[in-house]
Amino acid sequence: GIQVEQSPPDLILQEGANSTLRCNFSDSVNNLQWFHQNPWGQLINLFYIPSGTKQNGRLSATTVATERYSLLYISSSQTTDSGVYFCAVERTAGNKLTFGGGTRVLVKP
Amino acid sequence: DAGVTQSPTHLIKTRGQQVTLRCSPKSGHDTVSWYQQALGQGPQFIFQYYEEEERQRGNFPDRFSGHQFPNYSSELNVNALLLGDSALYLCASSLGTSGWENIQYFGAGTRLSVL
């Protein structure tokens, strides 16, 4: 099956700092989603981005499908950005989402 | 517009018992997927239901079974519970089964503890 690797596994930031999270995948995809899992376990949709660039407030994402990676940028981080960020992909002509191991982010005040 | 709802939120069972978890999809969605998330790991795909049929299945034993009803809601059943079944069980719904139609929205999950 498709492999999804996220880096770094852990990230500690000072409030106001910027950061970049990376997701590498091993096959072509027709669905790539970024999620934020809050401390209560709720997975919140951030982006659907199988290719290209999108921005939503302080968050933006870029997927380079030909090189099989995606980046999530967090700018001016806030303590509410703490949690685990997951990348999930659906292989072309597949159905299921395969998740990476996540990046655990802690933003300190 | 109600999102994906799951019940119960927490459940405690003992080894060997059976459990049923329930999920109502987001309004307008007809596809439901189930995931198991062990502590400290990413969610693992169990199966996906569309038009009341199981469309794809992950690497889970037959002890895990499901059902989708005509109103698109779904159940996950786990028989002969093992300690290793303790996890957060997540339900997701989508408009369809592939590509942009498979953008999945998740419920808050059911936390199952097996003692």
For position B91, which CATH number holds?
2.60.40.10
- Domain-wise residue ranges, chain A: 4-108
Structure-model confidence comparison of residues A50 and A92, the more confident one: A50
* Amino acid B37: pLDDT: 97
* Amino acid A59: pLDDT: 98
If one counts the domains in chain B, the total is 1
- Confirm or reject contact between B87 and chain A (CB < 8 A): no
Percent of chain A predicted with pLDDT > 90? 90
Residues of B in contact with A93 (CB under 8 A): 98
Residue A105 pairs in a beta bridge with A11, A83
| pLDDT-derived band at A94, boundaries 50, 70, 90 | low
E strands, B1-115, are 5-7, 10-13, 19-24, 31-37, 44-50, 53-57, 64-68, 74-78, 87-94, 105-106, 110-114
Structure-model confidence comparison of residues A33 and A94, the more confident one: A33
Mean pLDDT calculated for residue range A6-20: 97
Task: Please provide the distance, in angstroms rounded to a whole number, between the alpha carbons at the two ends of chain A.
Answer: 40
Beta strand pairing call for A83-91 and A103-108: antiparallel
Inter-chain CB proximity A96 and B48 less than 8 Å? yes
Name the residue with tokens 């009803």. B69
* Amino acid B1: pLDDT: 65
- Confirm or reject contact between B36 and chain A (CB < 8 A): no
Closest to B49 in 3D by CA, of B66, B28, B25: B66
Could you say which of A50, A86, A95 has the minimum Cβ distance to residue B42? A86
Token pair belonging to B70: 């005509």
- Confirm or reject contact between A35 and chain B (CB < 8 A): yes
Inter-chain CB proximity A90 and B58 less than 8 Å? no
* Amino acid A92: pLDDT: 74
Could you say which of A35, A41, A93 has the minimum Cβ distance to residue B109? A41
d(CA A11, CA A88): 19
Q: Helix, strand, coil shares of chain B as percentages rounded to 5?
A: 5, 50, 45
Percent of chain B predicted with pLDDT > 90? 89
* Amino acid B101: pLDDT: 86
Q: Does domain A4-108 have CATH number 3.30.230.10?
A: no
Token pair belonging to A32: 């790539």
Mean pLDDT calculated for residue range A76-104: 92
pLDDT at A10 over 70: yes
Query: Tens digit of pLDDT for each residue in B64-99?
Result: 999 999 999 999 999 999 999 999 999 999 998 888
* Amino acid A1: pLDDT: 86
Backbone phi and psi for residue A18, each to the nearest 5 degrees, phi listed first: -105, 155
Residue in chain B lying closest to A30 (CA): B99
Q: Which of B5, B23, B30, B45 to mutate to test the interface with A (most CBs of A within 10 A)?
A: B45
Instruction: Provide the domain limits for residue B79.
Output: 5-114
Mean pLDDT calculated for residue range B32-50: 96
